[in-house]
Structure 1
Amino acid sequence: MGGSGGRPPSRWLVAALVFIGCASSALVFAYLNFPGVRAAILFPSYAVVTTALLVSPRRDWGILLVASAAGNFAPHLLTGPITFALSTELANGARAVLVALLVHRFAPAAAPLSSLRGGAVFLGAAVGVGPAVGAAIGAAMVVLHRDADYWLTWRAWFLSNGLTAVALLPMMWMLVAARPAWPRPARLLEAVALGVGLIGSATLVFLLPVSEALLPAGVYYPLPFLLWAALRFGSMGVSAALFALSMTTIGGAIADTGPFVAGSPSENLLQMQLFLIVVAIPLLLLSALIEQERGTAAALRTSQADSIAQRQVERALRDADQRKDEFIAMLGHELRNPLAPIGAGLELLRRKPDADERAARTKEVMDRQLRHMTRLVDDLLDVSKITQGSVRLALEPTDAVEVARQAVETVGKLVEQRKHTLILTLPDAPVTIHADGVRLTQVLVNLLNNAAKYTNPGGHIAFAMVVEDDRVVFSVRDDGIGVAPEMTDRVFQLFDRGEIHPGRSQNGLGIGLTLTRQLVKLHGGEITLRSKGRGCGTEVIVELPAPMTPPI
């Protein structure tokens, strides 16, 4: 589990680095406590010595633990007698050794944070077992030397170590063990864009003075950038993103800004630590799962010579895909949970008279973003249900004309806001088909929404429905940005958002057309997208089975 390539550094050099890292970080954080609470926010020495143990052979652990204890010893004397400093180092050493033993024993030897098992073992050991045992010993030592409550001391010790395990330890471990190569220019540019977006959104929420009305929903602003890091940059990217978010959040709390300053100091510290830990754990697992799936796919492509090995890899890929679907379903539910109280809080704010026009506009922005996030989460849950085969259509006689009118009514506000001209062509008489009216409306709303979003303001959208022989055909045509001919099939793939058009915001997760196609297939129909290229508009055609009765 050491670094890849080259001669390993001398044990004495590693020990010296451990001593310097522990001493400097312990000195800094001995004074940098959470405002109003005599409790450390982080304990970087935990990350330093644990990283050293993870990448070093066991025969060197003794000298590394001595170096760590020596580095932490002097700062601990500032907070208690010699016996207290020695006893706390017993807790710190036991915690780091336990984590290293568990990871070495149960995590895959190669790239442990690049698999779901390795990520789960690491988090269980570094966030759970190690801090729990270290906190149990440390809290007992504190109670013996001071008048302190054991469980409150245990909780403070446990959470500061748990936060260190998700904010510092993964990035430090991967930088030392993996030694990542310098990225290609395009990749580096994407990483810079991600970093600017993440730090900008985190600064807006946690460092700058903002309206209290923005704070409940504001803590979720960095979430899209964290998901971007997990999906595109794997464990290393999400670890760096979590480090940046943690440092920004802690900086805001120390500067008395952001969402974690409203309650008492102990409540603020608890909420901030729990927020960062709860956000970090699923993201680290998601990045490990994605890297595992990529690794499994790569193995599948290179194992053509051995048919037995190929079948094993295929089975592993299916298992990984199933776990991904299950994780996405769980993630969708977890993202949905905070939306309800946010919506309730926004409704309460809406009932209060606005102080000025700026407050009213702020509420409108919050409401629009909340509805947008709710729609994205609903689409994510629907895709998850379809991929797991748990969606059942409520098929019944349905008036397709009325469904089309309801879809137009739903997107009418968006069409009006963007000043589009909507040309509607529908049969005069009802057309009865065997369909799920709610899901069919969802299909048509998705298509009309896309047409409205990807057509420049003042554009034209044509929505028509006709009965042709044994088919009912819906068509949505626009004069918008268009799609390259080679992309017309790819846009239906999950998380694919087509071409990135300069100057245009890419809203959404790339799941709307995937969901639409699956719902059309469940109705026994077909969907086709046509475009002559960029700037030439798009036409989407949905064909469903014959009506139950011929139109009059």
Structure 2
Amino acid sequence: MAAVVDTQQLRRPVVFAVQTLTVAACYFAAGRLGLVRQLTVEGAVVTPIWPPTGVAVACLLLYGLRSWLGIAIGALLVVWSIITPGPSVIGTVVGNTLAPVCACLMLRRVGFRINLARLRDGVALVFLGALGAMLISATIGAGLLVLTGKLDPGGFWAVWLAWWVGDAMGVLLVTPVLLLALGVRARPDLGRWREALGLTLIVCVLVPVATRSTLSLLFLIYPLLIWAALRFQLVGSMLCALFASVMTTDAATGGSGPFVHLTSVEVMIKLQAFNGTMALTALLLSALIAEQRNTRRSVEHACEELMEVLDHLTAGETPQGRPPPARRPRT
């Protein structure tokens, strides 16, 4: 018995260490991926989509608040890879860690479910997890740039807005995909694989054309999102939105397609307006459809149970399948 207890006590620190290093590695990899495409706003380099925030929020929701240490280590490694070590590094790491932790706490407070099967879960992720909590990281990050003299005070709000939207887009686009991939154990519907293949081919052809054309054809992506949400719910719509966002960001940072001849501020506004509306459409529409389908299944299940009860009563039996007790004859 003592050996078993000792083994369990030794196993917990090992599991915690492995989990922390895994979260840190995933955060760092997502950060390096996000740095591939950058924009310059008021002399400061920002990323239109910051995937590590989505990774951090997903890890906290799936594995608990103890994941904060891995997030802090990953954020520290990302910051050290792009700037020289200094006092501002600690502040940036604190902001990048505190914002996802606050997002997780607020989502738990309102009873958030990681399967995103209710409309209220989608609304909570948008307004609490993304738009609300990411105010913390944006304020700390832009404020440190001003305090350290790397940014003019007049450019604070432009950089703050770009920072905030980039972090929020990471939550809106990356967190739902990771929650579905790692947290939900639902069986894929293989009955519509032909339709899924057809939708994938159309998306892979139409999205690059829409994002590279100078005719402003980005509106063509929305019917694909609606199709994916109606037929494949959150999995299809969020994968479609993520792919479209990556392609659009690549076109915007390269100054091609509908973003040609625009200033850096105009590119940021147009890109983030498109990414934001697309992510909101995919997430909220999918959550609404999932909620309606779950409600319909509940109603159908209740109707089936009611029919079984009526059948038993009609046959002269109790709902448990037993005949009613015999009455004693009167003397």
Task: Please give the TM-score of this superposition, normalised by the length of structure 2.
Answer: 0.80
- TM-superposed CA distance for 1:27, in Å, is 3.0
In the other structure, the counterpart of 2:91 is 87
Aligned pairs for 1:75-474 within 5 A = 75-77=78-80, 78-109=82-113, 111=115, 113-145=116-148, 146-148=150-152, 149-184=155-190, 186-207=191-212, 210=213, 212=214, 214-215=215-216, 218-304=217-303
CA distance change for structure 1 residues 302 and 266 in 2, over 3 Å: closer, same or farther? same
Number of the residue aligned with 1:67: 70
Note the C-alpha offset of 1:294.
0.3
In the TM superposition, residue 14 of structure 1 has moved relative to its aligned partner by 2.7
Instruction: Name the structure 2 match of 1:40.
Output: 47
1:19 and 1:223 map into 2 onto residues whose CA distance is 35
Cα pair distance change 1:300/1:160, threshold 3 Å: same
What is aligned with 1:55?
62
* Residue aligned with 1:143, SS: helix
RMSD: 2.2
**How many residue pairs get matched?**
287
Give the AA of the match of 1:258: G
Q: What is the CA–CA distance in structure 1 between the aligned matches of 2:162 and 2:136, rounded to whole Å?
A: 13
1:19 corresponds in structure 2 to: 24
Structure 1 residue 306 displacement after superposition: 7.4
1:232–1:34 CA distance, 2 compared to 1 (3 A): same
Matched letter for residue 276 of structure 2: I
Where does structure 1 differ by over 6 angstroms across 4 or more consecutive aligned residues?
none
Kindly state the Cα deviation for residue 182 of structure 1 after the two structures are TM-superposed: 4.0
Residue identity (%) = 22
Q: Aligned letter for 1:164?
A: G
Instruction: Quote the Cα distance in structure 2 between the aligned partners of 1:98 and 1:269.
Output: 26
Q: Which amino acid is 2:105 matched to?
A: L
| One-letter code aligned to 2:106 | L
Letter of the structure 2 residue corresponding to residue 120 of structure 1: V
Residue 328 of structure 2 aligns with which residue?
A: none
For 1:220-254, what per-residue CA distance to the aligned partner results, in whole angstroms no more than 9, with x for missing partners? 11111110011111112111111111111112223
* More contact order relative to length (CA 8 Å, sep ≥ 6): 2
Q: What's the TM-score, normalizing by structure 1? A: 0.49
- The answer to whether the 8 A contact 2:255-2:261 is kept is no
1:268–1:168 CA distance, 2 compared to 1 (3 A): same
Say which structure is richer in helix: 2
1:105 deviates by 1.5
Distance 1:30 1:288 in 2: 30
- Residues 167-206 of structure 1 show CA distances to partners (whole Å, capped at 9, x for unaligned) of 222111221111443441x422211211211221111121
Task: Kindly state the Cα deviation for residue 133 of structure 1 after the two structures are TM-superposed.
Answer: 2.2
Moved more, 68-77 or 287-296: 68-77
Q: 1:306 to 1:109 in 2, by over 3 A?
A: farther
Letter in 1 for 2:92: T
* In 1: Cα distance, 2:198 partner to 2:19 partner: 35
User: Tell me, which stretches of 5 or more residues in structure 1 are unaligned?
Assistant: 1-8, 308-552
Q: Distance in 1 between matches of 2:295 and 2:64?
A: 29
**Cα contact 2:20–2:70 (8 A) shared by 1:** yes
